[in-house]
Amino acid sequence: MTIRFASFNLFQFVKTPYSWYIKKDKFSIEDWEKKTSWIKEQIKQMKCDIIGFQEVFSADALKELTKELGFEYFVSVDLAKTHKINKNVYISTTVALASKYPILETQKVQVHGKSIINHDFKGHFKFSRIPIKALIELPNKQKITVYVNHFKSNRLNEFEYIFNKNNTLEQKKEQTKEALKKDYSKALKQRLCETSSLYYDFKKTTTPIICMCDLNDKEFSLSIDALTNREYHEKVRENKKGKAYLLYDAYYLFDKKIYNPHPLQKEIRRTATSYYQGYGNVLDYIFVSNEFNIKDKNKNKNTLGKISSYEVFDKHLQDNPHGSLLQSDHAQVVCEIEFD
């Protein structure tokens, strides 16, 4: 049995006559039809069973759209808020989840108070978008927990730290310490509080986990450590160093092949999912728990399956890197899991 999961940032999914953020920003009836037609076609091409959506304003319209495509189950744990004076203008967005298989339970992920204190967050903390936590039963009766997230964006591009796979956690913490302490990087601190809250929710979860998100942070970022790495939060025994992860980036659990490689090419370059000022970044991810880490199968007796494919649907960004309101400004990430 194979199940395909996807993360899909819809880019201002607002049904006419509603607007997003300001009155003039809204779709005409014709443009809304073009946007929804593109989304439907994209979902058909992705051939997914379970999809996590970001930038959802009009949840009812998305529920109707996905039901037409065979997704019988749909949830959102929050409502997009409208302006106090003009109720046709949305001022906040939400995430949503569509599934072809039964959603047995749905919860809002709660803020982890100790993490907020540990990060010295000033003022009242709340998620940028409340994450979804859903228990889903697959056709083989296996139950999994699916999370859908959209973390704090960094609109001012403030203190954008860029790390690589060689940077240690200690190096990342040291480089960001002053900016976090002096609140120079408020967006990063917000993300770290959000991802830390998710981490502690993962720890309480007893079923296999699939986490689909627009992280709004780059590959190898400190945000990913806060989301997945025990060493970020607690002391880890020496023999567990480097193997202390609750979740794994599914991209690295799939064995990629290079066809007709250039003699000097030593690795495959990861496909960007979003662009800023012409430069591509990986912002959209699917993380999975150790039950799907086939690379650690000898040490992991609880393996349930393997990542059989990992795809990035970015054709629309190849034509226009910054995306289009009638399509999306993000690529869609699809992860296929082959269950044992």
* DSSP letters spanning 185-240: -HHHHHHHHHHHHHHHHHHH--S-EEEEEE-SS-TT-HHHHHHHBHHHHS---GGG
pLDDT at residue number 242: 55
pLDDT at residue number 65: 98
Neighbours of 191 (CB within 10 A): 24
Query: Running DSSP on this structure, what letter comes out for residue 118?
Result: H
pLDDT at residue number 154: 80
Q: Which long-range contacts (CB under 8 A, 24 or more apart) does 124-127 make?
A: 125/190, 125/193, 127/194, 127/197
DSSP calls for 268-305: PPPPPSEEETTEEE--EEEEEEGGG-GGGTTT-TT--E
Question: In what helix (H) or strand (E) does residue 120 lie, and over which residues does it extend?
Answer: none
pLDDT at residue number 184: 87
- Distance between CA 223 and CA 194 in Å, rounded? 9
pLDDT at residue number 268: 76
Place of tokens 């298989």: 101
Q: Which residues of 87-102 are buried (b: 16+ CB within 10 A; e: fewer)?
A: eebbeebbbbbbbbbe
pLDDT at residue number 70: 98
Q: What angle do CA 311, 317, 322 make, to 5 degrees?
A: 135
The per-residue pLDDT for range 162-209, each reduced to its tens digit, is 899 999 999 999 999 998 998 888 999 999 999 999 999 999 999 999
Neighbours of 291 (CB within 10 A): 20
pLDDT at residue number 159: 65
Residues forming a β-bridge with 333? 7, 312
Instruction: Flag residues of the chain having pLDDT under 70.
Output: 155-159, 237-243, 257-267, 296-300
Kindly report the CATH number assigned to the domain that includes residue 244.
3.60.10.10
pLDDT at residue number 115: 97
| Cβ–Cβ under 8 Å, residues 128 and 106 | no
DSSP calls for 63-78: HHHHHHTT--EEE-SS
pLDDT at residue number 276: 85
Contacts of 166 (CB under 8 A, 6+ apart): none
Q: What angle do CA 310, 316, 318 make, to 5 degrees?
A: 85
Query: Running DSSP on this structure, what letter comes out for residue 82?
Result: B
Question: In what helix (H) or strand (E) does residue 90 lie, and over which residues does it extend?
Answer: strand 89-90
Judged by phi (left if over 0) then psi (alpha if -120 to 50, else beta), residue 265 lies in beta
Q: What angle do CA 150, 106, 69 make, to 5 degrees?
A: 75
Cα diameter, the chain: 62
Residue 315 lies in domain: 2-339
